[in-house]
Amino acid sequence: MPLSHESLPSTINRTRTEWQLYTSHFLSMWNSRLFEFGAVLFLASIFPSTLFPMSIYALVRSLSAILLAHALGRWIDTGNRLTVVRVSILGQRLAVAGSCGVLWAMETRIGGLNASRVNGLFVVLVALACVEKLCATMNTIAVERDWVVVITNDDEDWRRAVNARIRRIDLSCKLVGPLVISLVAMMSTVVAIWTVLGMNMASIFVEYICIEKVYKSVPALERRAADEETPPDDQPTSRLSSFFTNIIPLSSVPFYIHHPAFLPSFSLSLLYLTVLSFSGQMITYLMSVGYTPLYVGIARTGSTIVELSATWAAPRLMRKIGPIRGGLWSINWQMGYLAVGVCWYIVDMNNQSGNQLISATVLAICVAFSRLGLWGYDLCAQNIVQDEVEASHRGAFSTVEAAFQNLFELLSFASTMVFSRPEEFKWPMLISIVAVYVSGIMYAVFLRSRRGHLFHAPPCLKGRSEGRIVLE
């Protein structure tokens, strides 16, 4: 049912509603990024001689988001919107608080913990990490894919502006959060754990109140009882089938695959199968060829600045040529820069006189500039999904998309586990570039199916073509 303009906040309240939404989203993303990166540092301090616990922690955390994707999507689609976000806030905060307590006990070895007790606490830590991941995913999908669409209604320019600002918040937290917790951890790991706990608990009330005010200021966010009922076709026939329907995400996959927005969504998910980003894998490689932490920090900062510029460039691009063509331009930009970087790297590495540090630097520069296209495409694809996915299925669609993103991210980690030596980095890199080009091909198929062509012919060619037709 289309929303009436009377359901939207008035022009006078629009700015206030936006800022309340941004405040809530900032606090959610800030605490999520702070804990996500902090947990890596804390586990490295607790288990200094092995990466196995960190790998298990990351693997199980991501698997939980894959296996429970359908359950999250179902609740987002049918539950009370405010209740869903409130539970995500409380669940995330309580999980982080519990994790900080466990990490503190493991770090300080309180009471003279032996190895078996440390392993037991690690199991508890992994379980809490799964809860935190699920709640963070639920909050992000509910706000970005559902609340934003309802709040902005049919105002496409406003929606694009809100999407861009929210993505700007995400990227800023991604840059500053790890930097802050790293500086604190340099002084003391225990102090860093308490810092994460303090910020996490101090923000809960502000976030809780802000999201409630957004909900109350936009009447359209309130679901009617009829909207919350389970459709007859989706009702389980037994307890066993009920369990699989609500837990295993495969039940939502056919709907996702056959949806008109599948190709842009899946091609976006496929971009997560990459080591060509300034995350742990590429940073580890850069340091192995001679980069210092300072140079890595400079490279990562430069990359984030480019990423942030996409949140200004993409909305302007969509206003001029639309989100569908804008997505093609953006993904072509990413493909072009990565092709230059990877080709230079391979040619230079195969050259006897090649300098590994120079080839790595060229690759890093090209990766940084490719991020403009990546996040531009992200915003275009998000806009397409928001426009085309039905209100009653936004959660189901977006959680399956998130499950594929987590799956491809796991595969990227698997690639560096198989090819773990620095001199073998070219193989994960080639897997990444293939994934990007497959993603680009899939999006080109989508665009051609919608527009009937990929590129507009230049006026001179159009003239010749038309003249030939007339002569014939």
| Range in 5-19, 89-103, 189-203 the model is least confident about | 5-19
- Predicted pLDDT at 365: 93
- The two structure tokens encoding residue 268: 């976006």
Measured CA distances, 403 to 21, 256, 396, 398 (Å): 25, 11, 11, 9
Quick one: DSSP state of residue 454? S
Which of the four pLDDT bands, split at 50, 70 and 90, describes residue 50? low
pLDDT-above-70 percentage for the chain = 84
| Range in 33-37, 268-272, 284-288 the model is least confident about | 284-288
**Token pair 């804390």 in the structure block, residue:** 42
Q: Is the model's pLDDT at 156 over the cut of 90? A: no
pLDDT tens-digit readout, 55-75: 788 888 888 888 887 788 888
Q: Is the model's pLDDT at 237 over the cut of 60? A: no
pLDDT tens-digit readout, 199-216: 999 988 999 899 999 998
- Predicted pLDDT at 91: 92
The residue type of 184 is V
- Predicted pLDDT at 371: 93
CB 324 within 8 A of CB 447: yes
Query: Average pLDDT in the 181-196 region?
Result: 87
The residue type of 46 is I
User: 10 Å Cβ neighbour count for 444?
Assistant: 17
Which of the four pLDDT bands, split at 50, 70 and 90, describes residue 233? very low
- Predicted pLDDT at 332: 95
Residues 221, 147: Cα–Cα separation, whole Å: 7
- Predicted pLDDT at 369: 94
CB 426 within 8 A of CB 346: yes
Q: Is 452 helix (H, G, I), strand (E, B) or coil?
A: coil
Greater pLDDT, 230 or 385: 385
Closest CA to 424 of 291, 285, 286: 285
What are the structural domains of the chain?
A: 12-221 (1.20.1250.20), 250-454 (1.20.1250.20)
Closest CA to 305 of 418, 209, 175: 175
SS3 content of the chain, % helix, strand, coil (to 5): 85, 0, 15
- Predicted pLDDT at 110: 65
Closest CA to 402 of 139, 149, 40, 16: 139
Q: Establish how many alpha carbons lie within 13 A of residue 470's alpha carbon, considering only the half-sphere containing its beta carbon.
A: 6
Residues 436, 458: Cα–Cα separation, whole Å: 28
Quick one: DSSP state of residue 220? G
**Token pair 């809490």 in the structure block, residue:** 128
Q: Is the model's pLDDT at 232 over the cut of 50? A: no
Which of the four pLDDT bands, split at 50, 70 and 90, describes residue 231? very low
Residues 443, 377: Cα–Cα separation, whole Å: 10
Mean of per-residue pLDDT scores for the chain: 82
Residues 124, 140: Cα–Cα separation, whole Å: 24
Closest CA to 268 of 405, 398, 174, 67: 405
Q: Phi-psi bin for 42: left (phi > 0), alpha (psi -120 to 50), beta?
A: alpha
pLDDT tens-digit readout, 439-457: 999 999 999 888 776 666 5
Predicted structure pTM score: 0.76
CB 203 within 8 A of CB 31: yes
Residues 167, 159: Cα–Cα separation, whole Å: 12
Handedness of CA 314, 319, 323, 326 (dihedral sign): negative
Residues 459, 380: Cα–Cα separation, whole Å: 27
Q: Is the model's pLDDT at 152 over the cut of 70? A: yes
pLDDT tens-digit readout, 281-328: 787 788 778 877 678 778 888 888 898 899 999 999 998 989 999 999
- Predicted pLDDT at 225: 42
Query: Average pLDDT in the 232-248 region?
Result: 44
| Range in 120-129, 256-265, 404-413, 440-449 the model is least confident about | 404-413
| Range in 32-41, 437-446, 455-464 the model is least confident about | 455-464
Quick one: DSSP state of residue 110? T
CB 226 within 8 A of CB 76: no
Residues 204, 93: Cα–Cα separation, whole Å: 7
Q: Is the model's pLDDT at 461 over the cut of 60? A: no
- Predicted pLDDT at 368: 92
What does the buried/exposed string (b/e) look like for 34-67 if buried means 16 or more CB atoms within 10 Å of the residue's CB? bbbbbbbbbbebbbeeeeebbeebbeebbbbbbb
Greater pLDDT, 12 or 261: 261
Which of the four pLDDT bands, split at 50, 70 and 90, describes residue 116? confident
- Predicted pLDDT at 443: 95
pLDDT tens-digit readout, 328-378: 999 999 999 999 998 888 887 777 655 778 888 899 999 999 999 999 999
